[in-house]
Structure 1
């Protein structure tokens, strides 16, 4: 019996035992909940058990061997590498935010699913098998060898640029994952959001710090099992509840029809129209205040002060006085701050004043021109997500971990299979949850709101994840009065569906597994790029293997804490951060990778110019158009949103790389020989 087969059988036995133990753990917690165990303790047990599991695997898999640390010894069987890659791929954005995005945006939210699924097809066809045949450690390794002259490629500017792109892309992506960790930990343990971030960070570091790719791989297989169970159970429950069918993908069509009928009823409800009219009036008032700046700011400040003085003179209740004091403290400190806050409030109220958009309607807009703009943004986003997927360093690194090129191809098949188990369920889950809220929560008396509303509203009091306010003061919940953050929908699904709290803990564990698995891979990609490609290949080529691994571990620790601090500042929602990372990857790395594999004439000068041009155009467009980065819609080209900046960056990078390569000398034999080697038949 061959050694790989023996390893496969051992791993199969271990993970079957793990699955059985996990099922027993869920059953035990279910029984404890029925016996009266508090929700807080159930949350603690889930967090403690899963983090302990990942830490144990990390400790058992610790290593200082370079090949084991960077590429798991190149001996991971295809099936298990597929599970690990799927866990690496199904990030917090996929697990937590995609269904929420579909809930809020309907058809338009499918752009992420289509782009990411299509992108992994590009990985399997264009890049992964060729990287495995090259057989080194990192993506900058390949680019430096291809464009820098042979397999060494030390000191090549393309290596430094590739590492820089890897750091920017991976850091932006990892901040989103750590933000999700803080969100989950704060909800299910009651700790502060920032404390939750650093609790999750401890789990990340134990795996990646001690064992590198080896520890991450075996942890990610376990994490995928938790992810798929946590995602499918609530979806199947809701599917049975609303369609008498346990298969969400089959129930999807029936429930979508029911949802469309419910949308029509709510859209014609006079109470709903009353609430939307109130929001429209508020938007009108904010617009008047904006038009009247700076005088309106000064008048508002004086009015807030006058109201507080009147309440004090009349000996009003302490509650009213405190409310007036908070209103005065929160009032904008300058006309410039007022403009920014009032513009945000104007946009929010205009959004809440809009009529209900049918979930199944593509590119909804008041007129054809605006619908075309939405369609163009949809296609641009699909394009960016596809090409960004095919250039993500932490995903492409996984192609180095299999025993052979054939195993890499088989691994890609398994990865797609495991990803689709989740991705084909996400649209169905969004519709099932939406129908549940539209039919059960809407119309509820405010005096009888379910407890999950207050739970989630108090996770972040400065920016509530769920808000239900009686705008028209009729004591009944209208749809227009409900505001749900996209990042919270999946986590709240078990409570919305009326499932036992154990399932809420399970979903939290699944979300945590998704965020941690991706964060592990991203942090390792950054630290390996710095330690292997910069320190070893450029700074100190004589460094011992022990020193190289130690440097990588120290750098990983530093990057992790910087990312945790950035996440604690809540820079943006999860999908926005992830979208930025994908556009940057598509613009800076994709042209160099694809040309490096399929075009012998591509040379060092073209690769350097292409990476700089692609990254520069993409970043410039984001800076000009993203409000988060100081830009605005006025800077948009063809009305394309900043999240899809790669639609300009990638063509710019590709065209520049081709043009400069044609205008500069033909690459040497070593570079073209590498192309022949990796593209030769197996």
Structure 2
């Protein structure tokens, strides 16, 4: 255990040194560096940064565990999160880049000529990003807690210190290049265990092609153990919940402010489209591997752990029990571990798999480093989104338009530190599993920004009253449904809290359209500006005609 600790700690410290070094080398000196990395990031590297931004703790740590425990029903997360990128890449990203602002609230404020809409959008950004960051900090606590064999809460506070430092120091410029390094580390860390497990179980090094054989064997094991078959659909929820979750994650992806801002860091609309294409490739490497990871982990647990004497379980079970994320109880008193006597948090499956599969201490350390890269990369992007919404959209654009660059950077860095500390305090006792908390953030994004941006780009009649009330109503409906479903047991069609976005988005679209039609239409200049967004950068729409620039 001592050797494993030293190896894991060495790998993680080496990667931390790399991230901090990159942040210092790429320190933001101007506001354009801090918010949009000077708009000079090449598409392929921006695609990697988007991938790292996207491969949050929920993706790296939680998703394979969710699929392992939910089976077929867990695929909604993979399909929703991946499909959302197609929506974003083709429906919104190029048009938002052409508009040329720093943040989503800035686009909404300028497109609708409304400080009220800008402030509401900034508040929504802070709420969404803050909710999402609680999940990331909770994930970092799981990793650090396991590494040091301490309570995950102490690990969370260590993660808070790290994120607050490098996000506040480097800004978007530092975070972009840090995320390129983090993506490289996390994808290597994710693929190596699943490739080795595929070789162990099937003799084939390509898990994407081989895990079907393991799933077939697992179905037989399920029948023998008398548990619900892994591939049976809608056993953990209704088909309406599956579809609602799918929509919530897709629309939420297309409305996530910290992801959208990544498309502002490139130079042109074409570069924005290519960034999305590269991001899909980099994201697909992990998302196509998650079902294989889940199947292999579940199979190994069922074959090698379930059915063993409880007093002779592998050593790794003791270390995970110490973190509070694994519980084992001999409920029937026979001294043998049954599947139903083991309560394993879906947040530890990826982290525990190298030990479960006995892949060696180096792989254990590598996965820990990859998990920290995933949590840190997304948390850093989220903190920039929170900071830019407060320091740029509220402080500079509304409260103090004459503020100097030095003051704006100082306010941005202070707001990052405060937001990270507050999110870390909540993450000490998270209100749900990582994937669940993240799904709430997506529900809020789907209910606020997705309708606002889609109508803002594609419907010239949408006005400031419509977008303002649309965001307010969408946010209120989504929050109400999340709380009512989680704490009050209230559901419609079996749709639980993670599918709340479908109700919030419907309410926001309806409110935006109805209020816009009942109030004064936008100015002719704004309507032409909206039509202009639909054409390539070398073309412009003016006076009812399309002109070459």
- Tell me the CA shift for residue 475 of structure 1: 2.6
Distance 1:162 1:508 in 2: 36
2:194 alignment partner in structure 1: 235
1:262 aligns with 2:221: yes
- Tell me the CA shift for residue 569 of structure 1: 2.4
Q: How does 1:543-558 map to 2 (within 5 A)?
A: 543-558=403-418
The partner residue of 2:229 within 351, 358, 369 is: 358
2:531 alignment partner in structure 1: 676
- Tell me the CA shift for residue 37 of structure 1: 5.9
Normalising to structure 1: TM-score of the pair?
0.77
1:385 aligns with 2:267: no
1:609 aligns with 2:461: no
1:642 alignment partner in structure 2: 497
* Count of aligned positions: 537
Q: How does 1:242-257 map to 2 (within 5 A)?
A: 242-257=201-216
- Tell me the CA shift for residue 484 of structure 1: 0.8
Question: Residue 467 of structure 1: SS of its match in structure 2?
Answer: strand
Distance 1:575 1:227 in 2: 18
2:18 alignment partner in structure 1: 53
1:457 aligns with 2:312: no
2:547 alignment partner in structure 1: none
- Tell me the CA shift for residue 414 of structure 1: 0.4
The partner residue of 2:449 within 573, 581, 589 is: 589
2:182 alignment partner in structure 1: 223
- Tell me the CA shift for residue 47 of structure 1: 2.7
Q: How does 1:34-183 map to 2 (within 5 A)?
A: 38-148=3-113, 156-183=115-142
Contact 1:115 1:384 in 2 (8 A): yes
Deviations 1:157-191 (A, max 9, x none): 10010001001100000011001111111110234
Distance 2:76 2:318 in 1: 32
Deviations 1:241-275 (A, max 9, x none): 111101111011111111111112222xxxxxxxx
Question: Residue 461 of structure 2: SS of its match in structure 1?
Answer: coil
Contact 1:204 1:516 in 2 (8 A): yes
Question: Residue 158 of structure 2: SS of its match in structure 1?
Answer: helix
Question: Residue 323 of structure 2: SS of its match in structure 1?
Answer: coil
1:655 aligns with 2:510: yes
| CA shift in 2, pair 1:497/1:491, >3 Å | same
Deviations 1:203-262 (A, max 9, x none): 212321111000000000000011111110110111111111011110111111111111
Distance 1:64 1:198 in 2: 28
| CA shift in 2, pair 1:473/1:429, >3 Å | same
Structure number with bigger Rg: 1
Question: Residue 327 of structure 2: SS of its match in structure 1?
Answer: strand
| CA shift in 2, pair 1:480/1:623, >3 Å | closer
Distance 1:358 1:120 in 2: 31
Contact 2:241 2:493 in 1 (8 A): no
Contact 2:150 2:323 in 1 (8 A): no
- Tell me the CA shift for residue 518 of structure 1: 0.3
1:538 alignment partner in structure 2: 398
The partner residue of 1:493 within 353, 374, 379 is: 353
2:543 alignment partner in structure 1: none
1:437 aligns with 2:301: yes
Deviations 1:338-383 (A, max 9, x none): xxxxxxxxxxxxxxxxxx1111111138xxxxxxx61110001001
Question: Residue 495 of structure 2: SS of its match in structure 1?
Answer: coil
Contact 1:58 1:206 in 2 (8 A): no
Deviations 1:456-481 (A, max 9, x none): 00013xxxx11222222323222222
Distance 2:171 2:415 in 1: 12
Question: Residue 458 of structure 1: SS of its match in structure 2?
Answer: helix
1:560 alignment partner in structure 2: 420
Normalising to structure 2: TM-score of the pair?
0.96
Distance 2:153 2:342 in 1: 27
- Tell me the CA shift for residue 555 of structure 1: 0.9
After TM superposition, the structure 1 stretch with the greater mean CA deviation from structure 2, 403-412 or 171-180, is 403-412
Distance 1:168 1:526 in 2: 8
Question: Residue 240 of structure 1: SS of its match in structure 2?
Answer: helix
Q: Which runs of 5+ in 2 are unaligned?
A: 538-549
1:272 alignment partner in structure 2: none
Deviations 1:618-671 (A, max 9, x none): 1122222222xxxx22x3223321221111110110011001111111101232
Contact 1:536 1:548 in 2 (8 A): yes
Distance 2:250 2:87 in 1: 7
Q: Which runs of 5+ in 1 are unaligned?
A: 1-35, 268-355, 366-372
Q: Give the superposed CA RMSD.
A: 1.4
Question: Residue 626 of structure 1: SS of its match in structure 2?
Answer: helix
Contact 2:149 2:319 in 1 (8 A): no
